[in-house]
Structure 1
Amino acid sequence: MHLGAGGQIVFGERRPDDPALPEDLEAALREWAAVAEAVEVNGGPSERSLVRRRGRQLAGRLADLIGRPVQFHDPVTGQVERVWGPATGPLSRPAPERAAPTPWATGLAISVFFAVLTTLADIVLCHAFADAFGVLWAPANLLVALGLAPSLWLFRRAPFWRWPALGVAGGLVVAWVCLGLAPP
């Protein structure tokens, strides 16, 4: 069993006396082929591992149905292996990927830049708002901070965006301290 051109599954070992494939297995094989073709082009390591495991599982179901081992051609790595029967039990988990080292120097420089930019922008905005509307600068500034909070919280784990988010959060805190010490 392997993935052929156009996402078709090729059964190289079919014999005339083999039973017909059940509809659910055929549908699962077609779905796996479509996903495998997409992952082959754009997939990351975790998606490729999942496609490999699901393909082995389906090859096991096919081997159990026809009563003999099936050769499974992994579309991701190109390896060929014999699958003897259904993969019983839970699918094994792939080894966790090793994370890239954290770029502290670059990241903190980006954070400082965004902190300074945010602090200056917030103070200028509050001064302009205080000139136009008086004491309403404080609730307006609070609304700005509360409006940014969900986005900053979501960006905290994104590899690059965590640095600007940290800088913006820090800049808002510094701006609030400055505005508390010397209100507009």
Structure 2
Amino acid sequence: MPSRTPWATGVAVSIFAAMLSTVAVAAFSEGLANVNVVLAILVNIVAVGGLAPTVWRWRAVPVWRWVVYGAVVGIPLGWIAAIAA
């Protein structure tokens, strides 16, 4: 019998990961933008570009996929929050 997908726990983990990554990206971006806006943009592009291959592999791991789903939602939300601030 195949194992069942833990939807309730998985969605809770995804929501937590999305909130955590949103706050982290927004705070980091806003703080760095106070120093230099161009630097903030470049650092965000390099950070996401560097993390993308690792995160892409994690989406196939049963527990980490929920964290990946949350981060994929949270990072763009963090950018929107940083721009809006």
Judge same fold: TM > 0.5, yes or no. Answer: yes
Determine if the alignment matches structure 1 residue 111 to structure 2 residue 35: no
Q: Distance in 2 between matches of 1:119 and 1:163?
A: 15
SS of 1:159 mapped into structure 2: coil
Bigger relative CO (Cα 8 Å, ≥ 6 apart): 2
1:150 is aligned to 2:63: no
SS in 1 for 2:36: helix
C-alpha distance in 1 between matches for 2:12 and 2:31: 29
**5+ residue gaps, structure 2:** none
More strand, by proportion: 1
Identity rate of aligned residues, in percent? 36
Structure 2 counterpart of 1:133:
36
Distance in 2 between residues matched to 1:131 and 1:118, nearest whole Å: 20
Taking the aligned partners of 1:115 and 1:130, their CA distance within structure 2 comes to 22
How many residues get paired? 85
Pair 151,138 (structure 1): closer, same or farther in 2 beyond 3 Å: same
Q: Secondary structure at the match of 1:167?
A: helix
- Once superposed, which parts of structure 1, at least 4 consecutive aligned residues long, lie more than 3 Å away? none
Q: CA RMSD in A?
A: 1.5
- Separation in structure 2 between the aligned mates of residue 137 and residue 157 of structure 1, nearest angstrom: 31
TM-score between the two structures when normalised by the length of structure 1: 0.43
Between Structure 1 and Structure 2, which shows a larger proportion of helix residues? Answer: 2
Q: 1:99 to 1:147 in 2, by over 3 A?
A: farther
Residue 122 of structure 1 deviates from its aligned partner by 0.4
The Cα offsets for residues 38-61 of structure 1, whole Å up to 9 and x where unpaired, read as xxxxxxxxxxxxxxxxxxxxxxxx
